[in-house]
């Protein structure tokens, strides 16, 4: 009985570690859902986004705290910079596609 309980506890602890959001380590973001609060803490006040991929399109969506779409951009390969609305820490940033989005001030 103790072995079964131990096995269940170990499985539950692995399950909780899988659902973590991607970590912000650079200005380049790949496909995923990001907390804007984490981006602001890591990069400061971000004003622009662009697709730096030479072959893949990136779909960018910004959601507010109610999950309503605040901004949505389709960025073609090698696109120029797109100006972003003012980001709030409670927003979510969604990147879809195989390209890479570059955030800058």
Strands (E), the chain: 28-29, 32-35, 48-51, 58-63, 69-75, 82-83, 92-96, 101-104
Task: Tell me which of 1.10.10, 2.60.120, 2.170.15, 1.20.1070 is the CATH number of domain 23-104.
Answer: 2.60.120
Residue 99 contacts residue 51 (beta carbons within 8 Å): yes
- What does the domain layout of the chain look like in residue ranges? 23-104
- Condensed to tens digits (0 to 9), the pLDDT of residues 44-64 reads 888 999 999 989 999 999 998
- pLDDT confidence of residue 84: 92
- pLDDT confidence of residue 23: 64
Q: Cα separations (Å) of 6 from 9, 10, 15? A: 5, 6, 14
pLDDT at 18 over 50: no
Hey, what are 69's tokens?
């779409």
Residue 5 pLDDT level (bands cut at 50, 70, 90): low
Hey, what are 100's tokens?
């890479």
| Better-predicted residue by pLDDT, 93 or 6 | 93
pLDDT at 17 over 50: no
């Amino acid at each position: 009985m103790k072995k079964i309980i131990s096995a269940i506890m170990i499985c539950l602890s692995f399950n909780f570690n899988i659902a973590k959001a991607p970590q912000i380590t650079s200005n380049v973001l790949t496909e995923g859902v990001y907390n804007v609060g984490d981006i602001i803490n890591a990069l400061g006040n971000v004003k622009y986004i662009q697709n730096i991929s030479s072959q893949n399109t990136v779909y960018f969506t910004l959601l507010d705290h109610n999950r309503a779409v605040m901004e949505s951009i389709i960025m073609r390969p090698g696109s120029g910079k797109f100006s972003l609305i003012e980001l709030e820490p409670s927003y979510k940033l969604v990147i879809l596609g195989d390209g890479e989005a570059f955030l800058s001030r």
